[in-house]
Amino acid sequence: MPAVLPLGRDWTEKVSYKYSLAQEMIWSLHVLSDPSHHQNRLTWCLRVGRELPGELAADLEYLGTNSGQWSCVLQMVEAIEGEKLFPWQRVAGELSNMGQALFVYFMLGREVKVGELIRFIRQPALTEQFLEKYPNVGDPELIRGLLADPERVRSKLLEVLEQYWSLFFEREAKKLEPLFYNSLQEKIKLAQTGGLEALLGSLGLGIRLVHDRLVGRAIVGEEATELNLSAEQVERIVIMPTVFATPHHFPIFDGKQLLLRYPLPYPEESKRQLTEAELLEVLKGLANPTRLKILRMVAEKPRFSGELAAELGFSEPTVSRHMKQLRKAGIVEIDKKDNFVYYYLQPEVIAAVGEALADYLGINYLD
């Protein structure tokens, strides 16, 4: 995909196209932290809530609460990526190497200058003085921890984000990436045939090209402001699809760049249909009380074999034999994390059983 597409004499090389799976991951955490504000993702939130291990869910809730519902971390990721497209591992590496003062600067919502933060980090005895000077920056206990030991906070943040990526969001990313790529290809073709005016109109964000000027409303600083910009006032227009930033896709103009983050629907998975042979395997997998107990446990959250064995009172080889049958039937899948193999449920397979059995028996499943 080209990074920049020329669009006429006055707007040449100002439009670029980008998607970010790392930013989508942080946006998804924002959605999880405030599902009431994202009613169109409520079903998604409920599903993720069932899949996430309890300890990880608790860590995500704590970090989200203390980072402005992930807005501080999102700002960090946006700054790391800039106009580039980085895989999550590259973003995590850059975050781990970020200077301490810069890391604290972002975690405090960019409210305190980096130069001043360096002094307070180097002199922990001045922490109370800092809290007196900046009483509204954030939770005092979080600030004390940040200034006393930024590396501990950063290490915990990276650990939790890596777990979330590996156990869950990496699978989401595989669904989102082709959606984003194909959408941007369509936008590029539209721009080639209809120009900037057609491209902007397709985004539905209220930004228009009128008499060769960009007009509409955008966030400038912290306020919604009317724009009326010439080509000389805009260095770059970034077109960026998103699934999880909805409804936070208001245009943003920072004085040199106009960010147009447009919404896409969550990629619906095609309805699973079972062949007669697959139906037989699923029924075999379900026809065992121990395996039904295992499925109920895995439905609550992903589990590894040692955890299942301990809760059921079986040996790990016994659990492994049952899991082999369930995997053969397609009812569970695995996800490897460090030295553990986590099993998670495939709910679409369970949902397809009733319809497949009804089809086989020749009855109307909907009656």
Distance CA 302, CA 210 (A): 53
At 95-148, the pLDDT tens digits run: 999 999 999 889 888 888 888 888 888 887 888 888 888 887 777 888 888 888
- Bond from prior residue into 247 cis (ω within 30 degrees of 0): yes
Which stretch of 185-189, 214-218, 294-298, 362-366 has the lowest confidence by average pLDDT?
Answer: 362-366
Q: Which of 256, 212, 210, 211 is nearest to 233 (CA)?
A: 256
More confident residue, 159 or 48: 159
Residue 283 is predicted with a pLDDT of 93
Q: What are all long-range contacts of 3-10, with beta carbons under 8 Å and residues at least 24 apart? A: 3/83, 5/188, 5/191, 5/192, 7/191, 7/195, 7/196, 7/199, 8/195, 8/196, 10/212, 10/231
- Tell whether the model's pLDDT for residue 53 goes beyond 80: yes
Tokens for 109, please give them: 């919502």
> Residue 83 to residues 1, 72, 133, 283: CA-CA distances in angstroms?
14, 19, 35, 50
Residue percentage of the chain with pLDDT more than 70: 93
More confident residue, 365 or 351: 351
- Tell whether the model's pLDDT for residue 309 goes beyond 60: yes
Q: Which residue has the tokens 């936008």?
A: 187
Residue 7 is predicted with a pLDDT of 41
At 219-246, the pLDDT tens digits run: 998 888 999 988 888 989 999 999 999 8
